[in-house]
């Protein structure tokens, strides 16, 4: 049935928007525009709305794929890795979708060499359990644990995969010798005198790299691999934010995400006259309570955005409940309480003031990207575009 414009009593909200099948080299911007035309004709598109597009479909439309052979070749040509080099791989996350294919490409670069794989414990950077917590409790924080000694305690509680063994098998399948250790001290890997260390953690990659470079270690991050813009497929994020496409094919994060978002914004403005913001989103920044897994395996929730998100724009506010309860305790009527709230909302408060208590500022980009990811869902709800209302244009 036809939908009327949302009534005044609806606050911030988000809608998943269905698109057709998205294939490499398709006109995704045109497809999103057509979807927004329908939204506009139903009075569902307004100035200040945010059009969120999931990063995976943007990368697919860009045909932004690399093979494991290309990853290996990039290491050899750009970083001087030879077929018999000793490669260190430090603090990767345990993920078949995110890291297994990357590791295959890294190991393929040294088929006659060796890969030293160092995992953190008891969990990886995003909360995936690597070793049984009880076993880890009996280990020292920076103890060096050879995988073989704890192999039977390394099954993931949800996937039931023994990731250290799985990664070891990937390395050995490429012909390289594999050594797997669990240790939280990044200096440990230097004792093997690797020719190069691949810093594989995501959010602390720069800090980890600085620690090792300060000791004179030759190291790079995943962001440095496949980031050459002269190549057909590349991303400013390198291998960060990539996903498995097939057993030997990796879908990189979108390239030039900000430019892509801006082109979408301009097309909407030129064709529909609406001033919207556009956000290319990846993983939401939230933690799953039962498993303790931090879902953010991308370098950040937003992988490209328009100018309205720049400058670290925050979502701030006042403590609505506190103000309402205080005014009610003072004997004010409902009408007076509403007037009081409006007056407070119109003022700027510092974060150390009582009326802001409990309203920690959050980056708009992170909040909206996380909301969009929840709407579209990790299982893919068939809605790669999410229309968000009421954040920039308060309803």
String of DSSP letters for 30-91: HHHHHHHHHHHHTT---TT-EEEEEHHHHHHHTT-EEEHHHHHHHHHHHH---TT-EEEEES
Instruction: Give the CATH number, domain containing residue 384.
Output: 3.30.1330.100
- Assess whether 208 and 335 both reside in one domain: no
- Assess whether 287 and 379 both reside in one domain: yes
Q: Which of 251, 271, 300 is the last residue of a domain?
A: 251
CA distance 150 to 177: 20
Q: Is the pTM of this model over 0.95?
A: no
Q: What is the mean pLDDT of the chain?
A: 88
136 band by pLDDT with thresholds 50, 70 and 90: confident
- Assess whether 197 and 70 both reside in one domain: yes
- Assess whether 283 and 346 both reside in one domain: no
- Nearest residue to 373 (alpha-carbon basis) of 363, 382, 386: 386
In a domain, 2, yes or no: no
Per-residue model confidence (pLDDT) at position 290:
85
In a domain, 4, yes or no: no
- Assess whether 168 and 243 both reside in one domain: yes
**In total, how many domains does the chain have?**
3
- Assess whether 278 and 147 both reside in one domain: no
In a domain, 341, yes or no: yes
CA distance 393 to 391: 5
For residue range 318-334, list pLDDT tens digits in order.
566 666 677 777 777 76
Per-residue model confidence (pLDDT) at position 319:
62
- Assess whether 118 and 189 both reside in one domain: yes
- Assess whether 241 and 181 both reside in one domain: yes
Residue, of 253 and 393, whose pLDDT is higher: 253
Range of the domain at 58: 13-63+253-312+362-389
Q: Which of 200, 231, 251 is the last residue of a domain?
A: 251
- Assess whether 280 and 379 both reside in one domain: yes
For residue range 137-163, list pLDDT tens digits in order.
777 777 889 998 898 888 998 999 999
pLDDT above 80 for 240 = yes
Instruction: Give the CATH number, domain containing residue 137.
Output: 3.40.50.620
In a domain, 24, yes or no: yes
Q: What percent of the chain has pLDDT over 70?
A: 87
For residue range 348-390, list pLDDT tens digits in order.
544 444 444 445 667 889 999 999 999 987 545 689 999 999 8
- Nearest residue to 208 (alpha-carbon basis) of 216, 218, 196, 199: 199
In a domain, 53, yes or no: yes
Q: Rounded to whole angstroms, what are the CA distances from 36 to 30, 259, 269, 370, 387?
A: 10, 19, 11, 21, 9
- Assess whether 299 and 172 both reside in one domain: no
- Assess whether 134 and 272 both reside in one domain: no
């Amino acid at each position: 049935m036809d939908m009327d414009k949302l009534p005044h009593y609806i606050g911030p909200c988000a809608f998943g928007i269905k698109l057709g099948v998205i294939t490499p080299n398709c006109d995704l911007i045109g497809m999103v525009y057509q979807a927004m035309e329908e939204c506009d004709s139903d009075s569902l598109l307004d100035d200040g709305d945010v059009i969120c597009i999931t990063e995976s479909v943007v990368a697919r439309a860009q045909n932004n794929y690399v093979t494991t052979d290309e990853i290996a070749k990039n290491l050899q040509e750009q970083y001087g890795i030879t077929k018999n080099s000793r490669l260190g791989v430090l603090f990767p996350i345990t993920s078949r979708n995110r890291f297994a294919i990357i590791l295959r490409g890294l190991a393929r670069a040294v088929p006659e060499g060796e890969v030293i794989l160092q995992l953190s414990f008891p969990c990886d950077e995003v909360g995936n359990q690597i070793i049984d917590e009880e076993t880890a409790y009996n280990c020292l924080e920076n103890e060096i644990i050879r995988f073989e000694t704890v192999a039977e305690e390394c099954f993931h509680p949800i996937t039931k995969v023994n990731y250290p063994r799985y990664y070891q098998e990937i390395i050995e399948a490429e012909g390289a010798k594999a050594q797997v250790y669990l240790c939280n001290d990044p200096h440990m890997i230097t004792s093997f005198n690797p020719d190069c260390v691949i810093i594989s953690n995501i959010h602390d990659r720069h800090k980890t790299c600085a620690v090792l470079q300060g000791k004179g270690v030759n190291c790079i991050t995943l962001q440095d691999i496949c980031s050459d813009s002269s190549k057909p497929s590349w991303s400013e994020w390198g291998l960060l934010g990539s996903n498995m496409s097939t057993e030997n094919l990796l879908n990189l994060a979108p390239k030039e995400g900000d430019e892509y978002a801006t082109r979408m914004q301009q097309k909407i403005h030129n064709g529909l006259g609406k001033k919207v913001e556009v956000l290319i989103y990846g993983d939401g920044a939230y933690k799953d309570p039962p498993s303790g897994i931090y879902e953010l395996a991308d370098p950040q929730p937003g992988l490209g955005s328009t100018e309205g998100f720049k400058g670290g724009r925050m979502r701030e506010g006042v403590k609505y409940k506190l103000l309402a309860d205080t005014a009610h305790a003072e004997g004010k009527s409902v009408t007076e309480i509403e007037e009081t709230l409006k007056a407070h909302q119109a003022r700027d408060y510092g974060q150390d003031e009582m009326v802001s208590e409990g309203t920690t500022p959050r980056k708009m980009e992170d909040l909206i990207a996380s909301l969009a990811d929840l709407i579209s869902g990790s299982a893919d709800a068939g809605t790669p575009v999410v229309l968000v209302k009421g954040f920039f244009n308060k309803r």
